[in-house]
A and B are shown apart, each in its own frame.
Chain A
Amino acid sequence: MIGELGHFAIILALAVAAVQGTLPLIGAQRNMPALSAIAQPAAIVQFALIALAFGALTHAFVTSDFSVLNVWQNSHTDKPMLYKISGVWGNHEGSLLLWVLILAAFGMGVAVLGSNLPPNLRTRVIAVQGLVGVGFLLLLVFLSNPFARIDPAPLQGNGLNPLLQDPGLAFHPPFLYLGYVGFSIAFSFAVAALIEGKVDAAWARWVRPWTLAAWTALTVGIVMGSWWAYYELGWGGWWFWDPVENASFMPWLLGTALLHSAIVVEKRDALRTWTVLLAILTFSFSLLGTFIVRSGVLNSVHAFATDPARGVYILLFLVIAIGGSLALYAWRAPTLKGGGMFAPVSREGALVLNNLLLVAATATVFIGTLYPLFLDAVTGEKVTVGPPFFHATFVPLMIPLLAVMAVGPMMPWKRADLAGTLGRLKIAGVATVVVTLVTLYLAGVKDVLAVLGMAIATWLIMGALVDIGERTRVFRTKAGDSWRRATNMPRSAWGAAIAHAGMGVAILGMTGSLAWETEHLQIMRPGDRIEVAGYEVQFDGVQAARGPNYDAARGTFRVYRDGDLVEVMQPETRRFANPPMVTTEAAIRPRNFGDLYAVVGESNGDGGFATRIYHKPMINWLWIGSLMMAVGGLVSLSDRRHRVGAPARKRAARTTPTRPAGQTA
């Protein structure tokens, strides 16, 4: 019964979305308030219906209702509750339902929170959001029904892929989708603006918080996925350039570009058409990612079971959504007038460079991901593109981007004095030179990337500190005065500094873990001791252990430092019965921001076991830095100007030529 209720709810949601996507558009165009007024309640009802369906599916999973095909295929009564719940979105149909749930939630967000938007713009944004919803609800209702029944109902389910039974991965998709789908709002704003023929600073002020929220969620989602790969795949890597990883990384890169170009539209009223295009492209790449993951055009472990009809449908939808919006762009964008002028060396100039490099980086990842497919399509020749390609192309694009990242926020709008800006960064410059020399002394000239990584990380972190220092005039004025300046500083400026420093911190982690990890592989017998990076590690053997739905071989390592026992590490090899599969659970212990990482493997049949122990110095900075970026996003999101709806007042203020440069983000 509850399943049918859910099924019925998504059918109704489709009907509501169709109304939401059409009538209000006509209302806004023909100035018919009765039709426009449908948009808000429709968005709320659509969300309520999808939430009801999502609740129904969750209920089926929690109660292990195997008469629902989807539950039977992906769940099992022995599964812990957490994974019964995460099983809801651990499959194609359920994850699609989560997709539309989040899409509708964002639509409702604009309906409820958008009271300060011009009425016509709000109506159009909600309507476009409704149209995107129609596209996905059609797929859900006709090609991916999550509530399909089987009769007779089996007694036991097939179970969830054991690799996915992990707390990190359980919450990875919801964050990823919040990000992916969150960009739909930027897209809807862009399409609405093109229909309206108006893009101005006020428009950018509304787009930015939504983009920021989506970007923050996507950052968290990507970090969770990467963290999962680090400890679950059991060999210490954290990024594999897998097509599915790339599918989430491309919208992140473009979303980052969009965040920055929206600032230029907001503050300086320049780059309007470019920002609209970026908003369309960012969501287009989210859609493309969905296509890659669900159509089976590319090979990946993460991909869902694929069905050719779905692939054809999603492609059709891509053509209509992306093709349609880009056609609208080609038609309407020329009528949008360009705004303020600026010199190449200026805050705007730095942000343009940021955008160019980020877009080029996205193109690189895009080519690396889809080149095998295109070459096959054109010539029938088959090739593979592995990490070597990305290291050779992506990294060189990032270096200038990161170098400029510390300078940009220090520059004034319109025209900057490069020498003066660099002069204010001299403390950061000196620190960078010192760290470079120290790294060179310790690591030698061989490890160019390690030296470069350390230099860039220092430059970014110090650059962010100098930026804050300049704004608060710390050490140059009375402490009370600095404090007052710090509390008056816009949150967006704090957010930018935290996020930029976070990038530096993350690079510290990447560099340290790649350049200075130590790795010990050996056969160990119980009682054997080895030394790893200053720790004595003793192997105590392997015992059998039982988990809720698996059997495990659990190894025990005792870690000593200067004769004192400091850690006991117990990595496992888990054998799942449903479905049959073996997974590795590494034991990871953070020690002074470096990880000790132990894995126990095959027995050699002679009392010995293959063991691997890594020491990964600084790796935790990678997670801390990435989370700092997300925190920066949240801090910036709490900025006063996103909460206070005063577009009219600000528009008046814009006629004064420039605002004090140091006060803006």
Chain B
Amino acid sequence: MRLRFLLPIVGFVVVAIGLGVGLTLKPREIPSALIGKPVPIFELAPVQGRTAGLSTSDLKIGKPVLVNVFASWCGPCRQEHPLFMELARTTDIEIYGLNQRDTPEDAARWLETFGDPYDKTGADLSGRISIEWGVYGVPETFVVDGEGCIQYKHISVMTREVLEAEILPRLRGERHVPCEGT
């Protein structure tokens, strides 16, 4: 038996182990490590054409806020966007947008096209800050309490069900998780 014929199966074994471990990770679930931790220290300029940037101090305003990670190249973001537009129109919830790995022009155009529900935006052009936030895929949505402590994280498209069952209660201060090591 020549060794090169073994290469495909060796490669497959590696992939299969990876998939097996991956199966236990459940990407849609909140990595518990992030919950109850303070938000990372960061400061970002706003998306092109906007004035209010986003930094750590904006997340410690005494009332809970919503942080939505979006990008113009992300199809699913388009799908959840009307929900945030509705929230911005009908409630006084502070909604912040973290724009991940976009070009300034594309991001601005996207917001002008679909509407801008964000009170403040941060342009994370390199994606560095998103990684510190533990962003896995776009879109993602965080609830941060009034002291800058991450309360909840939803991965993938925001739906009305998740909004009503998980997000709104936490924005009202329910199910509060105490902050570790501020």
CA distance A123 to B160 in the complex (A): 53
Q: A301-B76, A318-B19 known; A334 and B27 CB under 8 Å? A: no
Q: A240-B73, A382-B136 known; A299 and B12 CB under 8 Å? A: no
CA distance A319 to B31 in the complex (A): 28
8 Å CB interface, B52-107 against A:
71, 73-76, 78-79, 82, 85, 100-101
Q: B residues within 8 A CB of A358?
A: none
Return the contact of B75 from the options A237, A273, A326 (Cβ within 8 A): A237
Centre residue among A240, A280, A301, A580 by max chain B CB count within 10 A:
A301
Q: Are B5 and A296 within 8 A (Cβ)?
A: no
8 Å CB interface, A347-378 against B:
370, 372-374, 376-378
Q: A295-B23, A383-B131, A610-B115 known; A370 and B157 CB under 8 Å? A: no
Q: A297-B27, A330-B8, A334-B5 known; A374 and B115 CB under 8 Å? A: no
Q: Are B101 and A386 within 8 A (Cβ)?
A: yes
Q: A residues within 8 A CB of B100?
A: 384
Q: A residues within 8 A CB of B5?
A: 273, 329-330, 333-334
Q: Are B131 and A315 within 8 A (Cβ)?
A: no
**Stretch in A55-63, A79-87, A228-236, A420-428 with 4+ CB within 8 Å of B:** A228-236
**Is B181's CB within 8 Å of the partner chain A?**
no
Q: A330-B5, A386-B101 known; A322 and B12 CB under 8 Å? A: yes
CA distance A333 to B1 in the complex (A): 9
Least Cβ distance of B67 to chain A in Å? 16
8 Å CB interface, A204-242 against B:
229, 233-235, 237, 240, 242
**Is B178's CB within 8 Å of the partner chain A?**
no
**Is B138's CB within 8 Å of the partner chain A?**
yes
Q: A298-B27, A601-B113 known; A384 and B19 CB under 8 Å? A: no
Least Cβ distance of A33 to chain B in Å? 33
Q: A299-B137, A315-B16 known; A610 and B113 CB under 8 Å? A: yes
Q: A237-B75, A384-B135 known; A521 and B22 CB under 8 Å? A: no
Count of CB-CB pairs between chains A and B under 8 Å: 134
**Is A26's CB within 8 Å of the partner chain B?**
no
**Is A479's CB within 8 Å of the partner chain B?**
no
Q: B residues within 8 A CB of A326?
A: 8-9, 12
Least Cβ distance of B9 to chain A in Å? 4
Least Cβ distance of B157 to chain A in Å? 6
Least Cβ distance of A500 to chain B in Å? 29
Least Cβ distance of B10 to chain A in Å? 9
CA distance A281 to B11 in the complex (A): 12
Q: Are B23 and A311 within 8 A (Cβ)?
A: yes
Residue of A nearest to B100 (CB): A384
Q: Are A296 and B26 within 8 A (Cβ)?
A: yes
Residue of B nearest to A292 (CB): B19
Dominant secondary structure of chain B at its interface with chain A: helix
Q: B residues within 8 A CB of A582?
A: 82
**Is A5's CB within 8 Å of the partner chain B?**
no
Q: A237-B75, A610-B113 known; A377 and B21 CB under 8 Å? A: yes
CA distance A519 to B105 in the complex (A): 13
Q: B residues within 8 A CB of A370?
A: 15, 18
**Is A400's CB within 8 Å of the partner chain B?**
no
Q: Are A301 and B75 within 8 A (Cβ)?
A: yes
Centre residue among A284, A384, A602 by max chain B CB count within 10 A:
A384
**Is A534's CB within 8 Å of the partner chain B?**
no
Q: Are B18 and A329 within 8 A (Cβ)?
A: no
Q: A331-B1, A382-B134, A382-B135 known; A323 and B8 CB under 8 Å? A: no
Q: Are B23 and A601 within 8 A (Cβ)?
A: no
8 Å CB interface, B1-43 against A:
1-2, 5-6, 8-9, 12-13, 15-16, 18-23, 25-28, 31
Q: Are B75 and A240 within 8 A (Cβ)?
A: yes
Q: A323-B13, A327-B9 known; A377 and B22 CB under 8 Å? A: yes
Q: B residues within 8 A CB of A163?
A: 79
Q: Are A296 and B71 within 8 A (Cβ)?
A: no
List residues of chain A with CB under 8 Å of any chain B CB: 163, 229, 233-235, 237, 240, 242, 273, 277, 280-281, 284, 291, 295-301, 308, 311-312, 315, 318-319, 322-323, 326-327, 329-331, 333-334, 370, 372-374, 376-378, 382-384, 386-388, 519, 521, 580, 582, 601-602, 610, 612
List residues of chain B with CB under 8 Å of any chain A CB: 1-2, 5-6, 8-9, 12-13, 15-16, 18-23, 25-28, 31, 71, 73-76, 78-79, 82, 85, 100-101, 109, 112-115, 127, 130-131, 134-138, 155-157, 160
Other CB < 8 Å A-B pairs besides A323-B13, A610-B115, 6 of them?
A326-B8, A330-B1, A373-B25, A384-B127, A386-B101, A388-B101
Query: Which 9 residue pairs are nearest across A and B when measured between Cβ atoms?
Result: A377-B21, A326-B9, A373-B22, A299-B137, A382-B136, A301-B76, A297-B22, A240-B75, A602-B115
